[in-house]
Amino acid sequence: MTHGMLQTIMPTNKPGTEIVVYDMDGTLFRGDCGGAFIKQRIKASIGRLVLSLLVAPFAYPMLHIPSLRRLGVSIYLWIASVGMTESGYSEVLEAFIAQYRINPIEPVLSECRKDIAEGKTVVVATGAGHEMASAFIRQLGMENQVGLVTSQSTRFFGGVISAVQCNGEVKLSELIRNGYLPPYQKAYSDTASDLPILRSAETAFLVNYREKDLHFLKMKLGKKLQAIRQVSPGVQ
């Protein structure tokens, strides 16, 4: 069974309107909710922790190689979930969502709400799973106001793995598959891995960036790249 098959929350693309794409983790709010969930699950069990340390020499580098990222995420997600029933996994995921507190990046969130108010087609495209993403979009008060394109997971040998990892080129492909066709008026992200989407926008915004990402994207995107940085205490 595949989880998160319903990838798009209404509204979808409005004919004749400008499309604005927002990443979620690190862009609309600080942190990485999917990564935090996996870490919490692994740290809760000595067996899972030991297994994660054993695979780290080859699995961790995969997370930073676009072509191998889905495999790397799958390895850690499987370790975090193996041995759990589908209902049991859903329960721990729901419990995590209930206790996770998002820390909004207000300048970006304000722009997102402004775009919604102006009648633009706003879509959040994220590497997080559908259940997490929809819950946190609801917390931000934007349910039924933005489209949502997410990663998908599936059951595999007693655990859960990534079926579609919505990052990099895949994120752009998933946007197109869901009817959000480039060029986009604007695109917001916190990472250079979203270059395919940023390159497909008239104006690209890099949020709370790492200097190496800023340097790389300046070379690739030139003057259409704008940087937004907001430092705040209490980063999750």
pLDDT digits (tens, 9 = 90+) for 159-210: 999 999 999 999 999 999 999 999 999 999 999 999 999 999 999 999 999 9
pLDDT digits (tens, 9 = 90+) for 11-24: 455 665 799 999 99
Please indicate whether residue 82 or residue 6 has the higher confidence score (pLDDT). 82
Contact partners, residue 11, CB within 8 Å, separation at least 6: 121, 144, 145, 146, 147
The secondary element (H helix, E strand) that includes residue 138 is: helix 130-139
How many C-beta atoms lie closer than 10 Å to residue 13's C-beta? 16
pTM, entire model: 0.91
Contact partners, residue 90, CB within 8 Å, separation at least 6: 131
Fold of 2-228: Rossmann fold (3.40.50)
Q: Give domain limits for the chain.
A: 2-228
Round to whole Å and give the CA distance between 213 and 210: 5
| Closest by Cα among 106, 107, 110, 102 to 126 | 102
pLDDT at 230: 78
